[in-house]
Amino acid sequence: MMEGTSLCLPVVVLLLHCSPSVPVTVSTTKSKVEVEEFSDAVLSCLFHTEKDPFPRIEWKKTGKDVSFVFFNGQFRGSFEDRASIAGATVTLHKVTQEDAGEYRCEISASLDTVSLGETNVTLKVLVPPHTPFCEIPTSAVTGSGVQLRCRDQQSVPPATYSWFKDSRRISVPHHANATYLINSHTGILEFKSVTKEDSGRYSCLASNGVGSPKMCEGKHMTIEDVNVTAVVAVVMVVCLLVVVCGCGGVLLHRNGFLTRHRGRSFWISQCHGAAHISSQTLHRTEDTSNVNYIPPPQEPQDFKHTQSFML
């Protein structure tokens, strides 16, 4: 029926005469459409009918749920005011990721013998990279393993990542004994064991061939021989323990408590209690000056301490 088949035309005509049931034919010039987001997407649908000059044209978005795109001469849903049709070919304007998916053009020519025909078009909406989210620790201890992460969830197709240190690109190592690894697909830069030379300003670039690549803001990572924060925290905790237990010990000693008592386990249970508990106990012992004194269980809280007292 096209020019290319002119040689076969007599045969086709003959066939037409023998059996008039030539189905409505529907086709597309492009079954896979890829466009960048916020641009126009043309979903082509060509049809040829036997004799029905005005077949019914319908477009549906298929997939998990089927919804109408073009039905009864009108665009439906979110396409109502951002789509146009020429013949059966539809143009969607300003497409977003939401519009990506499978579409089906259905032609029904009720006057034709075989009245239904359809064609499918897949729309892929490409999304350029957004500024990636970068996880870069501000400090790490020499010799420790460190991971730097870079991620851009939205880009279509998924972005690949490259890392920069002090604005210079870090090459992906190819030898097995490199001190670091870069996975350009997951965006992870991993140091097996950091050294002071690894200190620097790190940043990461996400690209996917759509639009321009995007870089996250660089962050400084400092490698220290000791973890200063942890050391300060440990020192403070130790000081606190010394002060709390030391005070308790001195007071107990002054009351002749430690020598008279079996000592050690009592001493430990006192240390486990907070400062106010030991001082409470001390007040009581001061009052009675009796080792075997058991405070009356006023509150359940107190009762518990009495238990350890007896150990």
Ligand X SMILES: *[C@@H]1O[C@H](CO)[C@@H](O)[C@H](O)[C@H]1NC(C)=O
Residues of this chain that interact with ligand X (CB under 6 A) are: 62, 102, 104, 118-120, 175, 177
- Cis amide bond preceding 157, omega within 30: yes
Give the whole-angstrom CA distance, residue 65 versus residue 117: 21
Residue 41 or 277 having the CB closest to ligand X:
41
CA atoms within 13 A on the CB side of 311: 13
Shortest Å distance, C-beta 20 to ligand X: 23
Shortest Å distance, C-beta 12 to ligand X: 22
Under DSSP, is residue 126 helix (H, G, I), strand (E, B) or coil?
strand
Residue 19 or 177 having the CB closest to ligand X:
177
The residue among 107, 298, 123, 128 whose CA lies nearest residue 214 is 128
List residues bridging with 58 in a β-sheet: 106
Shortest Å distance, C-beta 100 to ligand X: 15
Q: What's the DSSP call for residue 5? A: G
In the chain, the amino acid numbered 254 is R
Residue indicated by tokens 């665009």: 75
Shortest Å distance, C-beta 120 to ligand X: 4
Shortest Å distance, C-beta 31 to ligand X: 8
Residue 40 or 118 having the CB closest to ligand X:
118
Give the whole-angstrom CA distance, residue 158 versus residue 168: 24
Shortest Å distance, C-beta 42 to ligand X: 19
The set of residues, in sequence order, having a beta carbon less than 8 Å from that of 6 and lying 6+ positions away, is none
Residue 36 or 118 having the CB closest to ligand X:
118
